[in-house]
Structures are given as C-alpha cells and as structure tokens.
C-alpha cells in the first residue's frame, strides 16, 4: 500500500477550518445567552427593549409616523393608537386564563397625524395659550442625589395657569433603550389634546423624566430612579407647577422597565399616588431583589386605596412575571385591572394601546375645574 504524502498545506487549511468552526459555535452560544437576557442584568447584556425591536411585523393597515413641526433642536413623530372599553373600576380580574386575543386592525385618527411642537425651556412657563393644543417642552430639574440637572419632558394643557386652580399630574417612566421623549413618539400629547377637546379628560400635566443609567443599573433606594423621583423630582414639580399636591392628584405609569419603576414606587410609597399602571412591565426576582420588587412588596403595604392597572401582550417574553403579580394580587384580595391583548413586547403594541393608558389615568379626575384646589406652588427661593 502506498503511504499518503504529508502536506503542510493540507494541515494549514484543516487548522483554519477548525478555527472558523470554533468561532461560529462561540458566536451562536453568545447569541443564545443574549436572547434570554433581561433588563437590569450585568453590564453588556442587551436591555429588554433592545430585544423587543426584533419584533417588527407591521400590519397592512399601519400608517407611517408623521414628522412633526421642527422647533430648534427637536424632531418628533406622531403615531397610531386604539380605543378601548374598560371594565368597572373595582373589578378584580378572575383567575381563569383569558381567551386567546384576536388582533384587531385599527384606523389611525386624523388628530394623531398632526404635528407636535417641542420647545426647550430653562424654566416652566407660567401659562399656556388657550387653543386646541397643549404645550410640550424639554427641560431639566435639579437633583441633589444625582449631583446635576436631569432631563425631562412635560406636557401642559391648553389654558394652563389661567383660572388659578391646580392640575392633576401624571408621571410616565420610559422603558430601557429609550429616554424622556418616548411618550412624545407614542402620541401622548395628541391623545390628551383630543380628550380635553372632546370633554373626556380634565386638563392635567404630564411629567416624563429621563431615567438615565440608573433605569437599568439599579433596583431601588436613594441612588436610583426611586430616589431622584421621590426626593427630587416630585417636590420640584410641586414647587414650580400648579400641581395638585396630594395623592388624589398624582398618578404614575410606565412601560417595560418603566413599568417596574412605576409599580415599585407606587407600592413603596402608596401615600404619594392614587393610581399606578404597568404596561409590559419587567418583573423578575432574578434582576431585582424582594426589598424593592413589586412581586414581593405588595404584601408589605396597604394597597386597598390604590388603583392598579396592568397589561401585556400575549406574546410578551416578560409575561411570566406580570402574570405572577396578577395572581399574587388576586390571592391577596387586592383589586386591580388586567388586560392581555394580542402582541409582543414591542413599540407597535404600545402605539396601539396608548389611548387606553391615558383614558384609565384620566377617568379618576373630576371634569369640573371648580373641583380642584387653588394653585399655590411653593416656589423655592
């Protein structure tokens, strides 16, 4: 038998093939680890909302977002939304699994195709014009905990500051991978303008703060989103706006990681808020300890007077934690609302349901301006 001649060239190409195969296996393993990562994990992992962008299926009825009026330094978009009929306020959802949601195409109302002007101000305005549209601006509030100013966006209703009375305030916390302009992109200003114009909403203020790096890197405590919101932001708002400085006039909500923060702060500070909503909330004990996590803190306080709303898509990869909180509240006899709709953990799902979120918060506030206390902000000297 003839012996096969040794070839250095064959050895070299075999080594190259083995190396390439190893790189491919490592990359696949890395991708699989990333695909199961959650918000709040170690540095380098993708955030919840970064993973959400993988879902980009858009129905045929979708209308492209509309570029808004450009105010120096600002460009935003209008987006579609949906209407909904909500259950009675005191209803506690039943434990039976809900029926499989059926996607329902929606038509984009004309008011959502209108532009939104976003201004940049150093101080909150004393009044706004009495037209059909509110006033949206970007600014900073001082934070002793952070050690510098922190960004926020605000919505002020038409005729703000004209009648000498206070306004309810809704705080909306953004998800990871986003910032304080998230709700401008979701059509929040247009929805509120239309609700006020139609007489469905009382005029109210919306504060949309930026969570910064603490949104994902912390779970609670003073040096976290909780600390800067409770100790810095809310007192500053009550000192510089005509805000209704009482729990009855204060609501909080959030999407994804912002849903965690909204539920977390409301459950740990029920004396400050009358209502809380969590939308596609990131709720995992693996990333946030029981001391702060709503999955545990609901047992430590009296939530009998708190209005609670939760919703998520039937394909939301974070639905397990949200379902667990729903069942825990059920077992504890704590009244709350739950809606499971068709969709995943994605921007388009929130586009569809933004009006529902605002409807729910606004329905607890009286329509008559005479019902509100006088505006008396304790402006800091």
What integer pLDDT is reported at residue 48 of this predicted model?
43
**What number of other Cβ atoms are within 10 A of residue 18's Cβ?**
10
Report residue 23's pLDDT band, with 50, 70 and 90 as the boundaries.
very low
Mark whether 19 and 158 lie in a shared domain. Answer: no
155 and 266 in a single domain? The answer is yes
At 22 the pLDDT is 52
Closest-CA residue to 253 (of 356, 377, 327, 348): 356
Mean pLDDT of 120-146: 96
Q: How many Cβ atoms from other residues are within 10 Å of residue 200's Cβ? A: 14
CA angle, residues 283, 286, 289, in degrees to nearest 5: 80
288 and 159 in a common domain:
yes
Task: Judge if 16 and 130 occupy the same domain.
Answer: no
60 and 28 within one domain: no
Residue 4 pLDDT greater than 50, yes or no = no
Are residues 233 and 209 in contact, defined by beta-carbon separation less than 8 angstroms?
A: yes
Count of structural domains within the chain: 2
* Average pLDDT along the chain: 80
In this structure, is residue 350 part of a structural domain?
yes
Strand partners, 152: 139, 209
Average pLDDT over residues 151-178: 97
**Model confidence at 368: pLDDT above 60:** yes
* pLDDT given for residue 102 in this prediction: 55
Please determine, for residue 31, whether its predicted confidence score (pLDDT) is greater than 50.
no
Range of the domain at 318: 50-371
- Give the domain CATH number at 170: 3.40.50.1820
| Whether residue 21 is found in the same domain as residue 80 | no
Could you read off the pLDDT of 206-229 as tens digits, one per residue?
999 999 999 999 999 999 999 999
Flag whether 43 is in a domain: no
Angle between helices 347-362 and 188-197 (to 10 degrees): 30
CA separation (Å) from 88 to 5, 65, 85, 335, 339? 85, 33, 10, 11, 13
List the alpha helices (DSSP H) in the chain. Answer: 8-35, 48-52, 182-185, 188-197, 214-217, 225-227, 234-240, 257-268, 294-297, 319-331, 347-362
Global confidence as pTM: 0.76
Say whether both 135 and 174 belong to one domain.
yes
What was the pLDDT predicted at 351?
86
Tens digit of pLDDT for each residue in 284-310? 999 999 999 999 999 999 999 999 999
Has residue 169 been placed in a domain? yes
Q: Which pLDDT belongs to residue 365?
A: 98
Residues 82 and 14 in one domain: no
Residue 379: inside a domain, yes or no? no
DSSP letter string over 69-107?
PPBTTB--EE------PPPPTTPPPPSSPPPPP-----P
Of the pLDDT bands very low, low, confident and very high (cuts 50, 70, 90), residue 109 is confident
Residue 32 belongs to a domain = yes
Please check whether residues 80 and 109 belong to one and the same domain.
Answer: yes
pLDDT band at 380 (very low <50, low <70, confident <90, very high): very low
Is 68 found in the same domain as 31? Answer: no
- Beta-carbon count within 10 A of 126 CB: 10
- Tell me what pLDDT residue 208 has: 98
Tell me, yes or no, whether 326 lies in a domain.
Answer: yes
Strands 135-143 and 169-173: unpaired
Q: What is the pLDDT of residue 160?
A: 98
Domain presence at residue 246: yes
pLDDT band, very low/low/confident/very high, at 108 (cuts 50, 70, 90): confident
Q: Please, are residues 340 and 98 in contact by the beta-carbon 8 Å criterion?
A: yes
Same domain, 30 and 64: no
Mean pLDDT of 93-106: 50
Per mean pLDDT, which range of 55-64, 163-172, 212-221, 276-285 is the poorest? 55-64
Please state the φ and ψ torsions of residue 119, each to the nearest 5 degrees.
Answer: -100, 160
- The DSSP bridge partners found for residue 184 are none
Is residue 138, in this structure, part of any structural domain at all?
A: yes
- In this structure, the answer to whether residues 27 and 175 fall within a common structural domain is no
């Amino acid at each position: 038998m003839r012996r096969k001649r040794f070839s250095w060239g064959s050895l070299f190409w075999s080594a190259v093939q083995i190396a390439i195969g190893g790189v491919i296996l490592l990359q696949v393993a890395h991708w699989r680890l990333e695909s199961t990562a959650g918000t709040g994990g170690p540095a380098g992992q993708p955030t919840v909302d970064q993973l959400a962008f993988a879902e980009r299926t858009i129905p045929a009825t979708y209308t492209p977002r509309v570029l808004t009026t450009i105010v120096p330094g600002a460009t935003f978009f209008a987006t579609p939304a949906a209407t909904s009929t909500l259950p009675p306020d005191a209803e506690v959802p039943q434990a039976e699994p809900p029926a499989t949601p059926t996607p329902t195409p929606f038509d984009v109302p004309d008011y959502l195709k209108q532009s939104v002007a976003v201004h940049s101000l150093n101080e909150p305005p004393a009044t706004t014009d009495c037209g059909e549209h509110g006033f949206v601006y970007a600014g900073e509030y001082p934070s002793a905990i952070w050690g510098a100013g922190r960004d926020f966006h605000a919505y002020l209703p038409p005729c703000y500051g004209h009648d000498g009375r206070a306004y309810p305030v809704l705080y909306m916390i953004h998800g990871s991978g986003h910032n304080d302009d998230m709700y401008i992109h979701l059509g929040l200003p247009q929805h509120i303008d239309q609700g006020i114009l139609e007489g469905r909403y009382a005029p109210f203020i919306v504060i949309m703060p930026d969570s910064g790096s603490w949104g994902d890197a912390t779970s609670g405590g003073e040096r976290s989103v909780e600390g800067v919101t409770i100790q810095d932001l809310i007192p500053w708002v009550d000192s510089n706006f005509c805000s209704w400085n009482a729990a009855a006039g204060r609501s909080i909500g959030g999407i994804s990681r912002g849903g965690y923060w909204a539920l977390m702060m409301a459950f740990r500070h029920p004396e400050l808020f009358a209502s809380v909503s969590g939308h596609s909330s990131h709720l995992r004990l693996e990333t946030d300890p029981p001391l702060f996590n709503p999955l545990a803190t609901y047992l430590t306080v009296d939530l009998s007077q708190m209005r609670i709303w939760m919703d998520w898509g039937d394909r939301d990869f974070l639905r397990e934690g949200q379902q667990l909180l729903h069942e825990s509240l059920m077992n504890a006899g704590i009244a709350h609302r739950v809606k499971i709709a068709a969709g995943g953990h994605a921007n388009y799902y929130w586009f569809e349901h933004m009006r529902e979120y605002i409807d729910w918060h606004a329905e607890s506030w009286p329509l008559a301006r005479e019902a509100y206390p006088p505006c008396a902000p304790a402006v800091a000297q």
